[in-house]
Amino acid sequence: MSSAYGKIHQQLNSIDHLFPLKDALKNNDPVEIIKLQPGHIDQLHALLNLIIREGKTYPFEQELDRDQFIQYFSPGFVCVRGDKVLGAFYVKPNFPGRCSHICNGGFIVEPAARGLGVAKVMCRAFLQIAPALGYKASMFNLVFENNTGSVRVWESFGFKIIGRVPKAGRLEGSDQYVDAIQYYYEFQENKVPRHYSSILFEKIFSKS
């Protein structure tokens, strides 16, 4: 498992007891958050490439092949309603080495499920899973300011604006470069399960 910053040694089986995380959509339909399984890959690969083609939220211009998707979206987590996948997100280090205690997340939602509250369900799960893995904070690097849905969700959960990247994105549907907002969220120590000790944290992020 790797990222732009090298190999990741996350012990995902150490959080198996969290799953499934149960929640509900705006209409009270029950949903669950589970770990990404091999059977989800083709659907989510196609979904991410659809979002890349839309050109409004992710910075990629070229679609990812299957192996690139697996590398980019691991470790991933999936929001399901019964057997139907509604969306997914990943959690991984935002920086290498001495700064790898700050994580990053990326979120995708099926077009048919947009507006149902899937993003909020996944954000609630993200705020449980990330500190359970030992992360101390989260940073989102490029949230385009015209992505009003994401802006609304992150700010409703208490993510703080810590920066702005002027003219960061050349997006579809906009005749001008679009600024990106940088968001930060510090996990509270008293919300991290006690058994995720500093020792486990060192094991998760130890480098080979």
- Supply 184's token pair: 């930060």
Taking only the tens place, the pLDDT of each residue in 115-172 is 999 999 999 999 999 999 989 999 999 999 999 999 999 999 999 999 999 999 999 9
The mean pLDDT of 36-59, rounded to a whole number, is: 97
Confidence of residue 12 (pLDDT cuts 50, 70, 90): confident
Residue that wins the pLDDT comparison between 195 and 36: 36
Q: What are the DSSP E strand ranges found in the chain? A: 2-3, 6-7, 21-24, 30-35, 76-81, 84-93, 102-109, 137-144, 160-169, 178-186
Q: Does position 203 have pLDDT exceeding 60, yes or no? A: no
| pLDDT of res. 205 | 32
* pLDDT at 13 (0 to 100): 85
pLDDT band at 10 (very low <50, low <70, confident <90, very high): low
Euclidean distance between CA atoms 88 and 47, whole angstroms: 10
Strand, helix or coil for residue 181:
strand
Q: What is the rounded CA–CA span in Å between residue 72 and residue 129?
A: 18
pLDDT (0 to 100) of residue 95: 93
Of 58, 59, 108, 62, the closest CA to residue 85 belongs to: 108
Q: Quick one: average pLDDT of 67-77?
A: 96
- The bridge status of strand 137-144 relative to strand 102-109 is parallel
Report all structural domains of the chain as residue ranges with CATH numbers, in order of start. 2-205 (3.40.630.30)
Residue 103 has pLDDT above 50, yes or no: yes
- Cα separation, 171 vs 81, in Å, equals 31
pTM (predicted TM-score) = 0.86
Q: How high is the mean pLDDT of the chain?
A: 88
Taking the C-alpha atoms of residue 125 and residue 127, their distance in angstroms, rounded to an integer, is 5
On the question of pLDDT at 197 being above 80, the answer is no
In this prediction, residue 14 carries a pLDDT of: 86
pLDDT recorded at residue 189:
54
Say how far apart CA 87 and CA 114 lie, in whole Å. 9
Q: What is the pLDDT of residues 88-101, one digit of tens each?
A: 999 999 999 889 99
